[in-house]
Amino acid sequence: MKPSLAKGTRDFTSLEVSRRKYIINILQKNFELFGFQPLETPSFENLSTLTGKYGEEGDRLIFKILNSSINEAKEDKKTQMLNDFQKALDKPFSAESLTDKALRYDLTVPFARFVAMNHGKLTFPYKRYQIQPVWRADRPQKGRFREFYQCDADVVGSESLWQEVDLVQLYLKSFAELKVSVTIHINNRKILSGLAEYAGITDKLIDFTVALDKLDKIGKDGVVKELLERNISQESIDKLDFLFNQSNDALENLLQLKEKFAGNEIGLKGVEELEFVITQSLNLGVNIQNLVFDITLARGLDYYTGAIFEVKADEAQMGSIGGGGRYDNLTEVFGVKNIPGIGISFGLDRIYLVMEELNLFPEEATSNVEYLFANFGGEETSEALKLIIQLREKGISAELYPESAKINKQFTYAEKKGIKNLVFLGEEEVKNNTVTFKNLEAGEQKTVSLEEFLNL
């Protein structure tokens, strides 16, 4: 059988794993600096937990898991079970009747489920971060995979807009440390609701936001075409034409909205919230160039209720490398009310691709062995292992070439693995309590005392 990968998945080499770990370590450090605590949830959830939370298009991308009773049955038994299902339902066979679980689509909904199940034990506001893979039955392309990692930070139990301000700081600090120049695009779902009311399409809010969310992919003409296909009138579209001609001044655009939203309560509330977040972020030293009010930003997930974020790299074409928003009603679907929440996500896989493209990974992001000990056989090998143990206790990576082979072969192994130093602990070195090593990058060879070597 010819080996192959499942579509939309990847293997990661040691170099890739080390670099991904470098990104994760920076994010994890900042999550904890900002007061977030770690959490992990299962890879799969009950299907009912996930469906109905991501909108029509999102629901179609959920990876469903075949019921184990069917999955484990023999072929003839499977056929009989499917026939029994069809008879029992007395209607055309439906795949949904065969599955009640699914791989998680994101980390937010499972987090909301966790909060709903444990709200009596949590201290609010509860801040958690989560770094785990998610799965989507999407069409694979550059920067879009079927299995990928999300790195989320969420706060639940607080309606304070200072949470939004703090999350802007978390984004900017983390990307600054990764040396990725970014722009945070920000909007508010209340503004979008206000726009729908202004255009007389309140009953078409979801259709409106789903189409608008595709602006960067299909352009104005594509959005207008989709709005028409979703039975939104040309008259309403004409009223919204100003959306596509915004100035670069966020506060000026908000002022224009205030005029259009006269008497529009939800729209004015969204403007007020967004104005607070932008103004306070600027007061904290955020450059207005890094925080852009994007009135066409919609983010198609149905559960957002307030601020919405999307982060884009300034120097690479990669789509969003982060996003999130406020979701004040998500736990209600699990029977627990009055737990508002807000969260952001870092797209690990896309951040990796951006950093790779821009050559931003430092040398320390590569996990290479510091010392390879040549194997001369006999007593010298035993002495080499004793020294290796001492190095490892000091936190220095070292390994012994496993066989007593020709020295050229051991050299080649070290060079191919990117090992920095080749150590020779031969008969003379053991007798004299010395160590000879060669720096393979500089080509320099030294003989030093055993004590000096251990304190290099």
Query: From the annotation, which residues make up the binding site for L-histidine?
Result: 106-108, 136, 150, 154, 299, 303-304
Q: Tokens for 161?
A: 């807009």
240 vs 180: CA distance, rounded Å: 34
- For residue 131, the SS3 value is strand
224 vs 232: CA distance, rounded Å: 9
331 vs 53: CA distance, rounded Å: 11
64 vs 50: CA distance, rounded Å: 10
Residue type, 279: T
> Any idea what DSSP says for residue 241?
G
Query: How many CA atoms lie within 13 Å of 365's alpha carbon, on the beta-carbon side?
Result: 19
Residue type, 209: T
- For residue 140, the SS3 value is coil
- For residue 236, the SS3 value is helix
How many other CB atoms sit within 10 Å of the CB of residue 280? 16
What residue numbers does the annotated binding site cover? 106-108, 136, 150, 154, 299, 303-304
Quote helix, strand, coil % in the chain, to nearest 5. Answer: 45, 20, 35
